[in-house]
Amino acid sequence: MISEEVKKMLLQDEDGNIFVSSEDVANLNVNNNLNHALLVLSKVGYTSIPVLDNDSRIRGLISMPMIINAIMGLDAIKFDELETMRVEDVMDKNVPIIDATCDLEDILHHVIDHSYLCLVDNEGYFKGIVTRKEILSRVNHLVHELHNHYRLVENLPSKIN
Amino acid sequence: MISEEVKKMLLQDEDGNIFVSSEDVANLNVNNNLNHALLVLSKVGYTSIPVLDNDSRIRGLISMPMIINAIMGLDAIKFDELETMRVEDVMDKNVPIIDATCDLEDILHHVIDHSYLCLVDNEGYFKGIVTRKEILSRVNHLVHELHNHYRLVENLPSKIN
């Protein structure tokens, strides 16, 4: 459990929302070919980006290593397959998803293993992401400001009667 | 400033060192060609890895987007250039470096903008990395355990006499 005081300080919204809106997140469609995916990924400069279906539901994540691995032959990279293979064929379907009911504990736990978490509404539509960068920025604020707001008094071990 | 109590909890070494030793970090040499770099990056699955010179001094970082951008023509990706271009030609020389004198404040500040920081000794030799993942794992421990160790007593505004 995270104490209310710590939660309050981590969720303080001085510089905007903890989530980046889906409108500001680059994404790919399940039907895009890998050549297009490679171009988009190289342009945005992120490790991986969300993959959506035609209804804007989240279906997976795709990264450059996934693409290069998919076209790797025994002794050479088969670049001609970039045109024929689709994003859906190589994406990772194991997406770290959170929804509006998700609390800070879950977010902090999941960002240990993922660069970002995908926020969906209750019908599975992609609404945005929360990034490690944003979490770390808030943690930085917390650890610097905590002692300005609170005095830490050590808990004494309970007496055994 | 970070309080001593918070620092102590973040630096507690229950599950090992805060740094990953250089022996356990994949790296590339400045003279490797981009084809080799692409293979190594796809194998390790990380966004970027450190680039060392022949003396194991850190010289840069290289990522798949840097490689793909470097071989991007006007309307197609020129894959034949992977064999002729070297890692040194495309790597990012702006490496987030820390040394043994670096304190937790600097680390927490720098991991907001970088997936990992490179640790060097005082002669510039690469010794290891500290990752966002490790920092977030410790933060998770901190925010869950803080109230088990300390009672947070709100600071009252100072009286004006």
Distance from CA of B21 to the nearest CA of A (A): 19
For residues B71-108, one letter each, b for 16 or more C-beta atoms within 10 angstroms of the residue's C-beta and e for the rest, the string is bbeeeebebebbeebbbbebbeeebbebeeeeebeebb
**Domain spans of chain A?**
4-149
What pLDDT is attached to residue B85?
A: 97
User: Do residues B90 and B71 make contact, with C-beta atoms less than 8 angstroms apart?
Assistant: no
Quickly state the pLDDT bin for B160 (edges 50, 70, 90): low
Closest CB to A150: pick one of B69, B77, B155.
B155
What pLDDT is attached to residue B15?
A: 60
Helix or strand run (H / E) with residue A117? strand A116-120
What pLDDT is attached to residue A161?
A: 54
Question: Which positions of chain A have pLDDT values less than 50?
Answer: none
Any idea how long chain A is?
Answer: 161
Sheet of strand B28-29, all strands in order from the earlier edge strand to the far edge: B28-29, B48-52, B58-63
For the segment A3-37, what is each residue's pLDDT rounded down to a tens digit? Answer: 888 888 888 765 668 899 999 999 999 999 999 99
What pLDDT is attached to residue A100?
A: 82
DSSP label of A31: T
**Hey, are the CB atoms on A64 and B68 less than 8 Å from each other?**
yes
What pLDDT is attached to residue A160?
A: 60
Closest CB to A154: pick one of B3, B45, B149.
B149
Long-range CB pairs of A15-19 (<8 Å, 24+ gap) are: A15/A137, A18/A130, A18/A134, A18/A135, A18/A138, A19/A119, A19/A127, A19/A128, A19/A129, A19/A130
Percent of chain B past pLDDT 90, that is, above it, reads: 55
What pLDDT is attached to residue A74?
A: 78
What pLDDT is attached to residue A130?
A: 94
The verdict on A132 touching B (C-beta cutoff 8 Å) is yes
Quickly state the pLDDT bin for B14 (edges 50, 70, 90): low
Quickly state the pLDDT bin for B161 (edges 50, 70, 90): low
Level-2 CATH architecture, domain A4-149? Roll (3.10)
Distance CA B120, CA B123 (A): 8
**Average confidence (pLDDT) over B125-137:** 94
**Hey, are the CB atoms on A133 and B155 less than 8 Å from each other?**
no
**Average confidence (pLDDT) over B85-91:** 97
For the segment B18-76, what is each residue's pLDDT rounded down to a tens digit? Answer: 899 999 999 999 999 999 999 899 888 788 999 999 999 999 999 998 998 899 887 77
What pLDDT is attached to residue A114?
A: 93
B window 83-112, beta carbon within 8 A of A: 105, 108-109, 111-112
Query: What is the complex's ipTM, to 2 decimals?
Result: 0.81
The verdict on A68 touching B (C-beta cutoff 8 Å) is yes
What pLDDT is attached to residue B102?
A: 86
